[in-house]
Structure 1
Amino acid sequence: MKITEVTLRHMKMDLLYPFTTSFGTEYDKDFILVEAKTEDGLTGWAENVAMPTPYYNEETVKTNWHLLEDFLLPLILNKEFQHPDELTENFFAHIRGNYMAKACLDMAAWDLYAREQNRSLASVLGGTKDQIDVGVSIGIKDSIEETLEVIGERLAEGYKRFKLKIKPGWDVELMDKVRKVYPNIPLMADANSAYTLEDIDLLKALDDYHLMMIEQPLAYNDIIDHADLQAQLKTPICLDESIHSFEDARKAIKLGSCKIINMKIGRIGGLTQAKKIHDYCVEQNVPLWCGGMLEAGIGRAHNIALTALPGFTLPGDTAGSALYWKEDIICPEVIVENGMITVPTSPGIGYEPDMDKINKFTLYSKTYR
């Protein structure tokens, strides 16, 4: 396979509803869309999930465009490779970090590889599921009553797991009131690194609410303090921001820093690394689920394909397009029925890019050959 042309598009799409976490509030999605073409006329697609601000991690839309343009694209354009694994393991091996920048080219290459094989992306990754269970992530609202109302709406739509964002001052009381109204729903808390070990008594209080997990309670780059915290909690800790690579996952599991891992393709450098972490977690009996970065349809399609792998035993964050966008950039849009998404079987990501919508939301584009 030889990629002869890549078009980067700077996209901006308004979210249907503001999404608030301990980092702040997002009102729109500002991202890079990647379109890669081969000498044989195939086209592969991917989304870059870096944010405009370095709040989730150190990468941003601008720094990723710089890495792609000046370093990563020159390494792969018009170069032969047989398998997408070669991008991560060979072409990009000497580039430190910048996982989100690497991931979007890895994902586009995997889409191309699947199309070349005339198979679905889920199939070539090793997926075994025809449908995947879907959960929903609910941001910090203006009131607990509003949160309860949203949970009721999503429960009626069939979602199978409910993740509530928490932060200091918006945690124990929230869970207490939610559990009184919804005592049996699968419920988890996501702290996005908002706490320290000084908050251990507060975090231990969450044990009373029978949560599936507490996601990333401590620092974004920590696995040591998480191990100390997990030893004192009944509730499983799930790591998100701390896991950037296979080695991070291996060490966190060895140290007992977590009992569950949230896999985000962009955060760990692409689908090649995701498969490697998946296989290790299966060996170690560590459950996985696929997190979300407020992706539009193409990024969401990659998440669906990954979640079809057998180690993803917990509902992920890949909710339907209609929860986030007035109109998405794929056809058909991602649809949830009874809390499940059907895994596409057509070649590649299984959804067709809608060029009219893509052009509508493009702020700037550049093609590299």
Structure 2
Amino acid sequence: MRVKEIKLYKIAMKLKSPFRTHAGTVHNRESILIEMIDENGVSGWGEGVAFSLPFYTAETVETSWHMLRDVFLPEIKNEEISHPSDIYVTLKSYQGNDMAKAGLEGAAWDLYAKQKGVPLSQLIGGVRSSLQTGVVLSLDDKLEELIPYYLEEGYERFKIKVRKGKEREDVESVRELAPKASVMFDGNGAYTEEDIPHLVSLDDLGLLMIEQPFKAGDFYLHQQLQQKMNTPICLDESITNDHDAYQAIQLGACKTINIKVGRVGGLTEAIKIHDLCMEHDIPVWCGGMLETGISRAHNIALASLPGFSIPGDISASSRYWYQDVIVPEVMVEDGRVQVSQQDGIGYEIDRPYLGSVTQETYDIQL
């Protein structure tokens, strides 16, 4: 791939409003952007989407920064990278740190597609020119203000971060404002075995799905709940690789899977999970991580694959940011996002704005 330099940017961007779940609240989003530059000066971009604190996974911005700077970049400096998946293979022996791996591999995928002169979506086998999208509502969102706005934008799927024990009330609050919309809620692993009867009692709500009610390792509890409910159970944090997905499918622990590029360590693994789910008729959708437009652009390319049949968390840049680091920003029109037909991820970097939100940089010559 003729890579000559890799740059890291640790950034912090202020959210329009705090994003609160059972696990924690985000006010300012720290992230790591990764720029991979070839000998012709062409740049590919990726993003490490770990949070500042370990409330989603054990990985954080600081641990990602350390692993990228001190371990992963020196490791790939000594390897010949001819394809983005070579990074996946090279770093596979290191446990965890999947979001750092995904960001680095993502920069390689973007650069590789640009070198080939094709959109990233086309390179990985995407079949869609536009995507139906959904939006996530946090515990602090003012529904009476936001939902009419999102309906006007064409969103037809709402995912809500519910209050434990008040799920029915929260769902009905959304349905009062959006009676025709599909509604689901995200448990963020907040429930336990004792909550199974309560969750089963919500079956009559006719939800699109319930996402990750139990902790990541609780395949058995998810199986027990799915056997008792018609409502599809979706797994998020439980799925970190294709083996996890295979185990969940064989156990009957879910009826759908949320694929997040960062959570599974990159596009290479994400595509493997997608292909496995297609083989077993398990629909998938693309989740979000309060990411910048760089990661969002990678998500758009991934969600163009044929198995992504459920609207994902690919909302407009303006959902979270006053200004994004990409130009143009991701736009939603009539509830759909266009899949870019430009080379690579299809978006340019707003370098002046990137400079204004950058806290620390690091670069290495290859």
Q: TM-score, normalised by structure 1?
A: 0.96
Correspondence 1:235 to 2:268: no
SS at match of 2:127: coil
Q: Given the alignment, which residue of 262, 265, 272 partners 1:266? A: 262
* CA distance in structure 1 between the aligned counterparts of 2:26 and 2:168, rounded to whole angstroms: 24
CA positional deviation for 1:26: 1.0
**Mapped contact 2:327–2:349 kept (Cα < 8 A):** yes
The ranges of structure 1 where at least 4 consecutive aligned residues each deviate by more than 4 angstroms after the TM superposition are none
> Gaps (5+ residues) in structure 1?
none
Moved more, 171-180 or 11-20: 171-180
User: Where does residue 106 of structure 1 map in the other structure?
Assistant: 105
CA positional deviation for 1:82: 2.0
Q: Aligned residue pairs: how many?
A: 365
User: Where does residue 335 of structure 2 map in the other structure?
Assistant: 339
Correspondence 1:200 to 2:196: yes
Moved more, 176-185 or 242-251: 176-185
Instruction: Within 5 Å, give how 1:68-83 maps onto structure 2.
Output: 68-77=68-77, 79-83=79-83
Moved more, 185-194 or 72-81: 72-81
Q: Given the alignment, which residue of 147, 152, 172 partners 1:151? A: 147
Instruction: Within 5 Å, give how 1:34-53 maps onto structure 2.
Output: 34-53=34-53
SS at match of 2:262: coil
* CA distance in structure 2 between the aligned counterparts of 1:201 and 1:78, rounded to whole angstroms: 54
Letter matched to residue 85 of structure 1:
S
Correspondence 1:129 to 2:128: yes
* CA distance in structure 2 between the aligned counterparts of 1:96 and 1:40, rounded to whole angstroms: 34
**Mapped contact 2:163–2:170 kept (Cα < 8 A):** no
Instruction: Within 5 Å, give how 1:1-369 maps onto structure 2.
Output: 1-77=1-77, 79-89=79-89, 91-141=90-140, 146-369=142-365
Aligned residues: percent identity? 47
CA positional deviation for 1:53: 0.3
CA positional deviation for 1:293: 0.3
Letter matched to residue 24 of structure 2:
G
RMSD of Structure 2 on Structure 1 (CA): 1.3
CA positional deviation for 1:234: 1.3
Q: TM-score, normalised by structure 2?
A: 0.97
* CA distance in structure 1 between the aligned counterparts of 2:84 and 2:277, rounded to whole angstroms: 21
CA positional deviation for 1:3: 2.4
**Structure 1 residues 345 and 161 mapped into 2: Cα distance closer, same or farther (>3 Å)?**
same
**Structure 1 residues 202 and 293 mapped into 2: Cα distance closer, same or farther (>3 Å)?**
same
SS at match of 1:6: strand
> Gaps (5+ residues) in structure 2?
none
CA positional deviation for 1:37: 1.1
* CA distance in structure 1 between the aligned counterparts of 2:166 and 2:55, rounded to whole angstroms: 19
CA positional deviation for 1:180: 4.6
